[in-house]
Amino acid sequence: MKQTKKWYDYLWVVSLTYLILGFFNILFAWLGLLCFFIPLLISIIKGNKAYCNRYCGRGQLFSLVGGRFGLSRKKDIPKWMRSSYFRYGFLTFFFVMFFLMLWNTWLVFEGSGELRTAVTLLWTFKVPWQWAYHGTLFSDGVAQFAFGFYSVMLTSTILGFLTMLLFKPRSWCVYCPMGTMTQLICKAKNVTASRK
Amino acid sequence: MPKRKAIVSIRECVSCGCCMKICPKGAITIPTGIHAVIDKELCVGCGKCAKECPASIITLEVTEA
């Protein structure tokens, strides 16, 4: 039963475009919020992981590059990386870093922090990114959030590519914080549903 | 002749959907987003899902039919 391709099988184009746009105008980074809210809403409303299963463009990108183009060793992921300790630990770490980013954005919004036109990779390396900044119509905080959010997106893409090369194409899915979070929501929903 | 079927380690499944996509028989679903479910009637034991699974938590086992 070879299925014919559906429109959502091409969402990897959107993910790729998103990453490229960030090199031209950092404000496009705001669009990435869709990758946060859509999976959450699907899991909260529908109680499933249709986002991961069908619509995740990043997952498609990894299976295309790692699978079709063969840029993957296709080895088993180490056991510790698929353990719940690591998955929940990574989710927590991701959350903490995300809130730190929001805090820095807030400081710029209220005026006590200065806008830094840099993208922080792997939470450590500050890469100058001023070429993609052409000013904002609003507060500098709007741009600060864009830089921060793009940092999150690019960092997770880099990690995903690394584990794609080392292990199986979609190894990122094993420890993807959004995936872990939506699965937790589904679990919670299922517990409450079975109590009814 | 013993038949092999795909078995999902439910506790470790991340519900990513890779197995569902690759299954040539459409035997896999992830109904509640918690783990993949394999329809034993439809599974032919080809092993594509086990190979595709990024967490490597699907195994092929001989089950008593």
Which domains are delineated in chain B?
Answer: 3-63 (3.30.70.20)
pLDDT at A1: 47
* Residue A127 bridge partners (DSSP): A119
Is residue A1 one of the residues assigned to a domain?
A: no
B2 to chain A, any CB pair closer than 8 A? The answer is no
Using 70 as the pLDDT threshold, list the residues of chain A that sit under it: 1-3, 195-196
Rounded CA-CA distance A56/A64 in Å is 13
Number of domains in chain A: 1
B58 to chain A, any CB pair closer than 8 A? The answer is no
B60 to chain A, any CB pair closer than 8 A? The answer is no
B8 to chain A, any CB pair closer than 8 A? The answer is no
Is residue A116 one of the residues assigned to a domain?
A: yes
Rounded CA-CA distance A150/A129 in Å is 11
Rounded CA-CA distance B61/B35 in Å is 18
pLDDT at B65: 55
Full residue range of the structural domain in which residue A83 is found: 7-195
Residue A116: CB atoms within 10 A of its CB come to 18
Is residue A138 one of the residues assigned to a domain?
A: yes
Angle among Cα A82, A85, A86 to the nearest 5 degrees reads 55
Query: pLDDT by residue (tens digit) across A33-89?
Result: 999 999 999 999 999 999 999 999 999 999 999 999 999 999 999 999 999 999 999
Is residue A45 one of the residues assigned to a domain?
A: yes
How close B4 comes to chain A (CA, Å)? 20
Contact B33 A43 (CB under 8 A): yes
pLDDT at A138: 84
Q: For all residues of chain B together, what is the average pLDDT?
A: 93
Contact A173 B16 (CB under 8 A): yes
Contact A87 B55 (CB under 8 A): no
Residue A99 CA neighbour count, 13 Å, CB half: 5
